[in-house]
Amino acid sequence: MAFILPLSPHRRGWAVEQKLSNGGGGVEAATMVFVYGTLKRGFPNHPLLAASGSPLVGAASTATPASLVVGPYSVPFLLPRPSSSSGSHLVSGELYAVSPRALVDLDALEGTHLGVYERRKVTVVVEGGSGEVVEAEAYFAHTSYMEALWLRCGGEAAEIGEYTMEHAAKDLDPQLQVALKGYLVARGVNSKLASSLHHHLVEKERWQYMNWLKTLEDMFSHHLVEKERWQYMNWLKTLEDMFSKDH
């Protein structure tokens, strides 16, 4: 797969326009995707990027401080909100040129159709000698629950600049990690199954949160209906008393 990187002037520096050979002699546009978690090299979901033939442009970081937290089950979430950390973290990650077909697979992996993540614009700086400023896209926690997630994770104190293997396995004892890995490998548990389990757990938690909100909504709706009914009955009683006095 050929990788072409023509540079064009951009109001915020240099933007990278990328094109990928589609294998049939044609060229198709690619999307620059900034990954900061389990899609990075060495992490469980990276094989999906590798198998798609998406070229690595290079290590990169956000151009401005961003809010990255580690959520339930050690899952990283970039939040669509300004970083409030006094450390003002620039989030580190990797930049890839992703074909339209591979982008569909990434959207499915990240559960964009389920409202788990959403793909949004992000400005990143490619590390190294060039230091190009690139307009890319990244997978952010969905806005419907991101504020609640930020608070649950610990708010400002929980923001980090880089998602590492220590974060990925922070909930497990080191000896247990080794034993568990051997157990899973022996039983044929691969990255595809692990990805499915990850999305099941994230979606389950999101469903529980939405169900809780629905319960609150129903409770308040019932309260308002009862209050309105009581006011109506009180009004009828007042009318009844008035007519009783007149007659």
Just list the catalytic residues: 110
Instruction: List the end-to-end C-alpha distance of the chain, in Å, as a whole number.
Output: 95
* CA–CA distance, 49 with 41 (Å, rounded to integer): 9
Q: Give the CA radius of gyration of the chain.
A: 25
DSSP state string for 64-99: S-EEEEE-GGG-EEEEEEE---TT-PPPEEEEEEE-
Closest CA to 46 of 56, 31, 60: 56
Interacting residues of 14 by C-beta distance below 8 A, sequence separation 6+: 7, 8, 132, 133, 134
Closest CA to 63 of 165, 146, 138: 138
> Is 3 in contact with 13 (CB distance < 8 Å)?
no
